[in-house]
Amino acid sequence: MNTFFNSPQIDPFINECKKLAATIISRQLKTNFDITSNLEIDVCNKVLKNNMSFIMIVSTHGNLLFKVMYSKREIEDHLKQTMAANAEPSGFSVDDLMKEYCNLFAGSLKTQMELFFGDNLGLSFPIKLSGIDELYFPLNKLNTYYNLWQIGNNNFNIICAIELEVPKISTIENFNRLNFATDNINETKIELF
């Protein structure tokens, strides 16, 4: 088994992914969020939050799975605190919000990967599962890098994870050379209320 947890070999790529993830959620919820901490691997294969959304980017250079684990109640409470007192929710879904978050993250990363690698990549639909389903995602794949971190503020946090499976360990350097530009992320208007 060649699974690497929080490996410094992929730190440049993971650090850029963390910044991208924090930028997107901050813009989505119009609140400043920070990368609050890395999580150690001893939390893997445990239920970290009661909900999870994920999306996958597929290419010949490597397959990337981006997961976000969250509590609906925490996000709903945060939104109630930040919205106008007289606003009423109208068809709002935290699950849809988090799936869109996955979609925005993966779309931005996919664009950078296509520019760098020069070919088309596959992108799955964002999927929502229970946080309990995390127990059924084994972390024993060949040539896979796994990193887990929190993004949040004083009110709540979400847990993000990247699982990057590469065909050969030597190809990991290609991911470290990707050019991220978080300033150019399109601000998608998400109608919350």
Residues 6+ apart with CB under 8 A from 154: none
Q: What is the pLDDT of residue 18?
A: 92
Within a domain: residue 130? yes
Within a domain: residue 97? yes
Within a domain: residue 188? no
- Centre a 10 Å sphere on the Cβ of residue 62 and count the other Cβ atoms it contains: 22
Within a domain: residue 59? yes
Least Cα distance to 125 among 66, 178, 165, 181 occurs for 66
Within a domain: residue 187? no
Average pLDDT, consecutive stretches of 10 residues, N- to C-terminus, the chain (193 residues): 68 91 88 76 60 93 92 85 58 85 94 88 90 58 83 85 86 83 52 41
- Centre a 10 Å sphere on the Cβ of residue 32 and count the other Cβ atoms it contains: 8
Least Cα distance to 132 among 16, 11, 44, 51 occurs for 51
Within a domain: residue 190? no
Within a domain: residue 17? yes
Q: What is the CATH classification number for the domain harbouring 112?
A: 3.40.1550.10
Q: What is the pLDDT of residue 120?
A: 83
Q: What is the pLDDT of residue 58?
A: 94
Report helix, strand or coil for 36: strand
Cα-Cα end-to-end distance for the chain:
47
Q: 135: domain range?
A: 3-180
Q: What is the pLDDT of residue 189?
A: 46
Within a domain: residue 147? yes
- Total domain count, the chain: 1
Q: Compute the Cα dihedral for 36, 38, 43, 48 and give only its sign.
A: positive
